[in-house]
C-alpha cells in the first residue's frame, strides 16, 4: 500500500474583525513576507523582521507593529496550524487566531505595576496554499 505524500502550505491569507493578514514562508527573493492590515494601518515585513517559533500547537509567527522608545511596543502573533495539502497548487480552508500583545514598558520600572503584557485574541479564517514561486 502506497501513501500519498503531503505538501505543507507556504502562503496564508486570513481575515477577521477588520484584520487582514498575508503570510508567505518564502518568496521570489527567498525571504519570508508578512503583511498586517487593520482599520488604521498597514505594515509589510520581510526576512528577519518576522520571528517564528515552532510549538506543539503550531508555528507562532510574530511581527512588531508598533515600537516606542519609552512606553513599550505592540506585537502581532499569528498562530499557524499544521496543514496537510494533497500537493503543489492546492489549498485548504483554515481557522486560527491572531494575538495582539501590548507590551507595557517604562524607563522607570516602578511606574508599571501588575501585568505588563495585555492580549487581544482575534479569530481568523482564510486559506492555506502551496504556491510555486
What pLDDT sits at residue 3? 58
Candidates 99, 17, 9, 31; CA nearest to 63 is 99
Please, which pLDDT band fits residue 55 given cuts at 50, 70 and 90? very high
- Neighbour-count burial of 36, counting CB atoms closer than 10 A to its CB (0-12 exposed, 13-18 middle, 19+ buried): buried
What pLDDT sits at residue 29? 81
Q: What average pLDDT does this structure show over 76-83? A: 98
Candidates 19, 25, 26, 63; CA nearest to 44 is 63
- Structure confidence by residue, pLDDT tens digits, 61-74: 999 999 887 778 99
Q: CA–CA distance from 55 to each of 1, 38, 74, 120 (Å)?
A: 32, 26, 22, 20
Q: Locate cell 503531503: which residue? A: 6
pTM of the predicted model over 0.85: yes
Amino acid at each position: 500500500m502506497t501513501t500519498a505524500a503531503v505538501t505543507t502550505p507556504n502562503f496564508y491569507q486570513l481575515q477577521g474583525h477588520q484584520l487582514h493578514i498575508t503570510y508567505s514562508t518564502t518568496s521570489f527573493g527567498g525571504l519570508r513576507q508578512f503583511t498586517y492590515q487593520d482599520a488604521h494601518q498597514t505594515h509589510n515585513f520581510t526576512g528577519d523582521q518576522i520571528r517564528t517559533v515552532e510549538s506543539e500547537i503550531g508555528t507562532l509567527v510574530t511581527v512588531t507593529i508598533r515600537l516606542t522608545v519609552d512606553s513599550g511596543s505592540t506585537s502581532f502573533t499569528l498562530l499557524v496550524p499544521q496543514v496537510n495539502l494533497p500537493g503543489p497548487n492546492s489549498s485548504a480552508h483554515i481557522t486560527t487566531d491572531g494575538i495582539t500583545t501590548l507590551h507595557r514598558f517604562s524607563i522607570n520600572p516602578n511606574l508599571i505595576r501588575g501585568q505588563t503584557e495585555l492580549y487581544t485574541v482575534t479569530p481568523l479564517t482564510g486559506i492555506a496554499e502551496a504556491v510555486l514561486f
